[in-house]
Amino acid sequence: MIRYIILTICFVGTLADHPGWNLLFGTDVLNETHKEPLTFDNPVPKWIKGSLVRNGPARYGMGKHSFLNVFDGYAKLYSWQFPGNGSAFFSAKFVQSKSYKESLSINDVASYQTFDNLVPPRTLMEQEMSVAHGMDNMNVNIYNYSGDCVILTDAWKLYVINCYTLETIRECNPTIPNVNTGFPFVSLLSVAHPVKEFGTNHHLTFLQSNSIVPTVPSKFTLVRTKSADIREKIAEWEVKKMPYLHSFSVTERYAIILACPFYVDIEKILSGHLPVNSMFFHKDEPTLTYIVNIKTGKVTTIQTDNVFTMHHINAYEMDEDTILMDVASYPDATVASIFEMNVVMNSTRRNAYPYKPSLKRFKIDLKAEKITPHSFDVNPKVPHVNMLDMPTINELYRSKHYCYIYGPVFKSDFKTWGNFSIVKKDLCNTTGDLSWSLPGHYPMEGWFVPDPNGSAEDDGVLMLPVLDGNQAKSYLLILDPKTMKPIAKSYTPFNTPFHFHGRFIENLF
């Protein structure tokens, strides 16, 4: 069902510039399938063994209600499975969450917390019910927690799924021993991007506990995740104001939060205001950096320039006292609202939208307790390369010295939000900066799969879904990261609209 068509004469030209745009956002794709064979146009390397599993919105409403924001679309899971003999299979399935099943049964959007409003808007009572039922639509990311496949959003709650069949198994609200999550705290928020703890199979994440009593400060808890259910407290500290947090960095010894001055007013949310209207960016306030020693739990707080970020890229320790940390940054938090349907589906608005991503490197001097931000020079050969977001790296280089970042750029021509490309940023030598794009094709986040026989950081393949707007069909693209030239592609049986994150899980097929 097409929920958002903008039919005015003056739009015909714009639609032609962005063919198939309405298939990228806002068109429901209800089709599901299990292990359907795929045909690639060129041979797939046989060393690729495992599955690319991904998560994102694919149904933008139910019955008479539509979502106002892409972020609220019902979660759908995809997998591209490679048994390692050159064959490949595709599966896709909606997450059978409580909110999705209830919505299906009443043929309307059930009352669960959404980021943004519905069209037509919720009544006050529906909004109150939504707050009471909380966040349930885990449409952002997917992880393998020591054999438990889980799906996440920026909530503490998660769902466990079966990564082979994409079936939904159960919801999960893990407790953390020795952490008070009761009154006066509301402990609902976490990050959608946990990070592997260096040298282990565990992941690190944060619990955000917002205090609802003015005299009690809110607190952060750094948590070790051993499985979907087993959690350990590593450190806990108080904060004056609770920032919105989507990701963070991990080095060998430290977990690092960039607490941008984009604050969540939890009381406003609990009293029925939409999250999108309860988060405020303070232009004149500094960013606080919390550097948590994973071994000792000691927290060092250093102030740095006002900045906003959704996605950390990687960080590593240069020497005993120096950390380098790379993030996809923005001058403020306006990017958090670009996925509103009224913006993303209106080319005048989305092109005019203040959109200024820029890759930033923070040098953290632990001894002097000083942070120096660094921006990268414009490379005239690939002028848009520093505008990447939704970054991916070779995960073997996580928390280590590395050179290459891959990521989509959404405004590659600096003019039209919709001029997509996928770039390779070479942090070590700008001659290595590369970009791939095709007119009318919309590449999404990539994943780097290392060649088991490789030795260089970019020995492997980059896999990513692309919507071919000209043919109105999606495909999986396998790129050679050394050249960013296509190796093979395979159209999927039906479209995989814009979705957020995922990963390649080895030996899963």
Q: Which residues bind ligand NAG (CB under 6 A)?
A: 6, 8, 30-31, 47, 83, 85-87, 144, 146-147, 163, 201, 346, 348-349, 412-413, 419-420, 429, 431, 437, 439, 452-453, 493-494, 505, 507-508
Question: What token pair was written down for 150?
Answer: 């889980």
Distance of CA 337 to the CA centre of its chain: 15
- Work out how close the CB of 52 gets to ligand NAG at its nearest, in angstroms, rounded to a whole number: 13
Q: How far is the CB of 192 from ligand NAG (least distance, A)?
A: 19
The helix (H) or strand (E) run that includes residue 69 is none
What's the residue count for the chain?
A: 509
Distance, in Å, from the CA atom of 289 to the CA atom of 369, rounded to the nearest integer, reads 10
**49 contacts 509 by C-beta, under 8 angstroms:** yes
Structure tokens at 412: 């590659």
The candidate with the shortest Cα–Cα distance to 460, out of 384, 404, 386, is 404
Residue 29 or 270: which CB sits closer to ligand NAG? 29
User: Is the CB of 246 or the CB of 425 nearer to ligand NAG?
Assistant: 425
Q: How far is the CB of 350 from ligand NAG (least distance, A)?
A: 9
Q: Which residues are CB-neighbours of 471 under 8 A, at least 6 positions away?
A: 20
Nearer to ligand NAG, 312 or 503 (CB): 503
Other CB atoms within 10 Å distance of the CB of residue 220 = 22
- The phi, psi pair for 98, rounded to 5°, reads -55, -45
> Least Å distance between CB 364 and ligand NAG?
24
User: How far is residue 61's CA from residue 341's CA, in Å, rounded to a whole number?
Assistant: 12
Place of tokens 């039209």: 416
Q: Minimum distance from CB of 466 to ligand NAG (Å)?
A: 10
In the complex, the smallest distance separating the C-beta of residue 160 from ligand NAG, rounded to whole angstroms, is 12
Residue 302 bridge partners (DSSP): 289
Paired residues of 62 in beta bridges: 65
- Residues 314, 198: Cα–Cα separation, whole Å: 12
Give the shortest CB-157-to-ligand NAG separation in angstroms: 21
Q: What minimum distance in Å lies between the beta carbon of 32 and ligand NAG?
A: 9
Phi, psi of 477 (to 5 degrees): -110, 135
Among residues 489, 399, 484, the alpha carbon closest in space to that of 448 is found at 484
Nearer to ligand NAG, 146 or 379 (CB): 146
Q: 430 in helix, strand or coil?
A: helix
**Nearest distance, CB of residue 33 and ligand NAG, angstroms:** 7
Amino acid of residue 324 = L
Residue of 359, 367, 310 lying closest to 339 (CA atoms): 310
In the complex, the smallest distance separating the C-beta of residue 181 from ligand NAG, rounded to whole angstroms, is 26
The whole-angstrom separation of Cα 311 and Cα 374 is: 16
Compute the least distance from the CB of residue 472 to ligand NAG, in Å.
12
Please, which residue, 49 or 122, has the CB nearer to ligand NAG?
49
CB nearer ligand NAG, residue 136 or residue 197: 197
DSSP string, 170-195: EEE----TT---STTEEEEE--SB-E
Identity of the residue numbered 56: G
Nearer to ligand NAG, 391 or 460 (CB): 460
Q: Which DSSP state fits 353?
A: S
CB of 23 to ligand NAG, least distance (A): 13
Q: Which residues are within 8 A (CB) of 248 and not within 5 positions of it... i.e. 6 or more apart?
A: 191, 193, 195, 206, 255, 256, 257, 258, 312
Spatial distance between the Cα atoms of 508 and 50, rounded to a whole number of angstroms: 4
Number of alpha helices (DSSP H) and beta strands (DSSP E) in the chain: 7, 35
Task: Print the SS3 string covering 466-500.
Answer: EEECCCCEEEEEEEECCCCEEEEEEECCCCCCCCC
